[in-house]
Amino acid sequence: MGQGQSSLTGPTFYSGTYSLSDHPALKFSAKHGDNCQILRDGCLARRGDSFCKGILFSDRPVEVGERACIRLTELSIRWSGVIRLGFTSHDPTSIQTLPKYVCPDLTSKPGYWAKALGERYSESNQLIHYYFTNNGDVYFGVNGVDKGLFFSGVDTRKPLWCLIDLYGNCTAIEMIDMRRSLNNFTPDENNSTPTVTDQAEEVLVSSIDSNTLNLNNLTINNDHLTVPLRFNSMSTFRPLTFHQTTGMNICLGMSRSLAWRHDDEYSNGYVFTGENISVGERIVVQIISTENMYIGSLAFGLTSCDPSSVDTDGLPEDSDMLLDRPEYWIVSKDVANNPSVGDELSFLVNDDGSVEFSKNGEESSVLLYVDCSVPLWAFWDVYGNTQKLRLVGATQDPVLTPDLVVQEDNDAARENDYNNLSMLDLVDPGDGPSTSVDQEESSQRRQDSQTDNEECKICYEATVDCVIYQCGHMCLCYQCALQQWKGRGGGVCPMCRETIQDIIKIYRS
180 falls in which pLDDT band (50, 70, 90)? low
Final residue belonging to a domain, choices 216, 236, 271: 216
Is there a domain that residue 24 lies in? no
Q: Is residue 121 part of a domain?
A: yes
Residue 490 and residue 353 share a domain: no
CA dist., res. 507 & res. 501, Å (int): 20
At 178, the pLDDT band (50, 70, 90 cuts) reads: low
Range list of H helices, 392-435: 402-419
Q: Write the DSSP symbol of residue 203.
A: H
Alpha-carbon gap, residue 56 to 98, rounded angstroms: 10
In this structure, is residue 16 part of a structural domain? no
- Please indicate, yes or no, whether residues 363 and 387 belong to a single structural domain of this protein: yes
pLDDT exceeds 80 at position 114: yes
3-state secondary structure of 320: helix
Q: What is the CA radius of gyration of the chain?
A: 26
Bridge partner residues of 469 (DSSP): 502
CA atoms of 229 and 286, how far apart (whole Å) = 8
Looking at per-residue pLDDT, the higher value among 256 and 404 belongs to 256
- 34 secondary structure, DSSP code: T
Tell me the pLDDT of the chain averaged across its residues: 78
pLDDT score of 227: 67
Q: Are residues 241 and 321 in the same domain?
A: yes
Residue type for position 47: R
Lowest mean pLDDT among 157-161, 282-286, 483-487: 483-487
Confidence of residue 413 (pLDDT cuts 50, 70, 90): low
Helices and strands (DSSP H and E) totals, the chain: 4, 25
Residue 373 lies in a domain: yes
The total number of residues written for the chain in this structure: 509
Residue 444 clears pLDDT 60, i.e. is over it: no
Select the highest-mean-pLDDT range: 39-53, 115-129, 181-195, 367-381: 367-381
- Going by C-alpha positions, the residue among 162, 31, 54 that lies closest to residue 105 is 54
- Domain that includes residue 191, residue range: 36-216
Residue 393's pLDDT band, with cuts at 50, 70 and 90, is very high
Weakest-pLDDT range from 225-229, 260-264, 439-443: 439-443
Alpha carbon distance 84, 150 (integer Å): 11
Residues 356 and 468 occupy one common structural domain: no
Q: Please say whether the beta carbons of 457 and 476 come within 8 A.
A: yes
Number of Cα atoms under 13 Å in the Cβ half of residue 78: 23
**63 and 193 housed in the same domain:** yes
For residue 505, the domain's CATH number is 3.30.40.10
pTM exceeding 0.85: no
Q: Mean pLDDT, to the nearest integer, of 478-498?
A: 81
Instruction: Please give the backbone phi and psi of residue 288, each rounded to the nearest 5 degrees, phi first.
Output: -105, -35
Does residue 6 belong to any structural domain of this protein?
Answer: no
CB proximity list for 471: less than 8 A, separation 6 or greater: 493, 495, 496, 498, 500
Burial-class residue 4 by CB neighbours within 10 Å (0-12, 13-18, 19+): exposed
- Are 74 and 175 part of one and the same domain? yes
50/108 same-domain check:
yes
Alpha helices in 168-228 (DSSP H): 198-216
Same domain? 148 vs 209 = yes
- Residue (of 290, 445, 454) closest to 382 by Cα position: 290
In a domain, 440, yes or no: yes
For the cut 80, the answer to whether the pLDDT of residue 395 exceeds it is yes
What is residue 443's predicted lDDT score, i.e. its pLDDT?
Answer: 54
Query: Where would I find the H helices in 349-489?
Result: 402-419, 436-453, 478-486
Q: How far is CA 194 from CA 11, 89, 185, 197, 229, in A?
A: 17, 28, 6, 10, 46
- Report the percentage of the chain scoring pLDDT > 90: 39
- Provide CB contacts within 8 A for 416, sequence distance 6+: 51, 52, 79, 80, 81, 168
Q: Which of 216, 236, 254 is the last residue of a domain?
A: 216
E strand residue ranges, 8-54: 36-39, 44-47
CA dist., res. 161 & res. 62, Å (int):
6
- Highest averaged pLDDT of the listed ranges 221-230, 342-351, 484-493: 342-351
Nearest to 486 by CA among 468, 473, 474: 468
The bridge status of strand 170-175 relative to strand 44-47 is antiparallel
61 strand-pairing partners: none
- Who has greater pLDDT, 347 or 451? 347
pLDDT band (50, 70, 90) for residue 488: low
**What's the total number of domains in the chain?**
4
Mean pLDDT computed over 29-54: 89
Residue 119 contacts residue 487 (beta carbons within 8 Å): no
Based on the domain organization, do 355 and 252 belong to the same domain? yes
Is there a domain that residue 509 lies in?
Answer: yes
Give the Cα separation of 388 and 259 in Å (integer).
6
The CATH number of the domain holding residue 42 is 2.60.120.920
CA torsion, ordered 315, 320, 323, 329, to nearest 10 deg: 80
Q: How far apart are CA 432 and CA 462, in angstroms?
A: 38
Residues 212 and 235 in one domain: no
Alpha-carbon distance of 169 to 226, in angstroms, equals 9
Q: At residue 11, does pLDDT exceed 90?
A: no
Q: Quote the pLDDT of residue 405.
A: 58
C-beta of residue 269 within 8 angstroms of C-beta of residue 317: no
CA distances from 488 to 82, 110, 122, 201, 481 (A): 14, 37, 10, 30, 11
User: Helix, strand, coil: what percent of the chain each, to 5?
Assistant: 20, 30, 50
Measured from the Cβ of residue 352, the count of other Cβ atoms closer than 10 Å reads 8
Is residue 168 within 8 Å of residue 82, measured between CB atoms? yes
- Residue 409 resides in a domain: no
**What is the dihedral sign for C-alpha 165, 38, 50, 496?**
positive
Same domain as 240, residue 363: yes
Whether the Cβ atoms of residue 347 and residue 300 lie closer than 8 Å to each other: yes
Together in a domain, 240 and 330: yes
Close Cβ partners of 8 (under 8 Å, ≥ 6 residues apart) = 139, 146, 147, 148, 149
